[in-house]
Amino acid sequence: MVVDIVTIFPQMIEPALAEGVVGRARTSGLVDVRARDLRDYTSDRHRVVDDMPFGGGPGMVMKPEPLFRAIEEISAERGAPTAVILTTPQGRCFSHAEAVRFSRMERLIVICGRYEGVDERVAEALVTDEISIGDYVLTGGELAALVVVDAVVRLVPGVVGDDASVAADSFADGLLDYPHYTRPAEFRGMKVPDVLLSGHHAEIARWRRDEQLRRTKARRPDLIGRADLLRRERHEGD
Ligand code: ADE
């Protein structure tokens, strides 16, 4: 998988991509993720990427020319992108399902929105997916782009060593994850639930499922209906 992240702050993106699971996936060649400085695609001396909004109002708008040039040059170098994502609070809310969809794509370009937003012609002509990571406003799309890329890259086959751990993730089956414990079995008077020490695999599986449901009902009741639906879809034809 090839991912290009177009940003005015590549130095905000690069260190995050060098660490952990994503860093390893890059050095092992499973994914090729690169930050691209939008100013490299300007043609004026001051490398200007923003301008005042037509019609007036506060803030600045990202100019179309550098973004068009960036997408065109990156496409020429890497091949046509499967999706061009724009991170913006105006986008569809990012989810596990969206992460799965993007993880099956060959080439992604992610544009980090800044200022009041991008010229609408960029959104109309270049962008395939406007994505928000939640109902709050960040100072820019860089952190959102990192969230999206992190969630997508870890779903690329081989990136997370243990496939079972990805399959058991929160949201993979529409429910939150169950509680996890490690040694010691008692810490400062707090005990690990007996069932986990029992060695009864079926009982442990039942306890974990019950905990998933209990947690999801308590913390995210909105997920319960969707989880039922997912389960029914999966068992269709059983
Ligand atoms: N840019 C600013 N806020 C954002 C958000 N919530 N999601 C995606 N991009 C953003």
Residue extent(s) of CATH 3.40.1280.10 domains in the chain: 2-153
Cα(217) to centroid(ligand 1), Å = 28
Distance CA 69, CA 43 (A): 10
* pTM beyond 0.85: yes
Burial class (CB in 10 A: 0-12, 13-18, 19+), 9: middle
Which ligand 1 atom minimizes the distance to the CA of 136?
6
Residue of the nearest CA to atom 10 in ligand 1?
88
Nearest residue to 100 (alpha-carbon basis) of 4, 166, 32 = 166
Phi-psi region of 230 (alpha: psi -120 to 50; beta: other; left: phi over 0): alpha
Q: Is the CB of 118 under 6 A from ligand 1?
A: no
pLDDT by residue for the chain (238 residues), tens only, comes to 999 999 999 999 999 999 999 999 999 999 999 999 999 999 999 999 999 999 999 999 999 999 999 999 999 999 999 999 999 999 999 999 999 999 999 999 999 998 899 999 999 999 999 999 999 999 999 999 999 999 999 999 999 988 777 877 778 789 999 999 999 999 999 999 999 999 999 999 999 999 999 999 999 999 998 777 677 767 665 5
Residue 88 Cβ < 6 Å to ligand 1:
yes
Q: Residues 72, 116, 203, 210: which is the catalytic one?
A: 116
One CATH from 3.40.718.10, 2.60.410.10, 3.30.390.30, 3.40.1280.10 for 2-153: 3.40.1280.10
How confident is the model at residue 164, as a pLDDT? 76
Cα–ligand 1 centroid distance for 174 (angstroms)? 24
Q: Which residue has the tokens 């399959």?
A: 167
- Rg, Å, the chain Cα set: 22
- Cα 144 from Cα 132, distance rounded (Å): 7
Q: Give catalytic status of residue 124 as yes or no.
A: no
Q: Which atom of ligand 1 is nearest to the CA of 133?
A: 7
- Taking the centre of ligand 1 as the mean of its atom positions, its distance from the CA of residue 148, in whole angstroms, is 11
Fold of 169-237: Trp Operon Repressor; Chain A (1.10.1270)
Residues of the chain with CATH 1.10.1270.20: 169-237
Give the model's pLDDT for residue 7.
98
pLDDT reported for residue 173: 84
For residue 76, the CA-to-ligand 1 centroid distance in Å is: 28
Rounded CA separation 39/6 (Å): 10
Nearest-atom index, ligand 1, CA of 141: 1
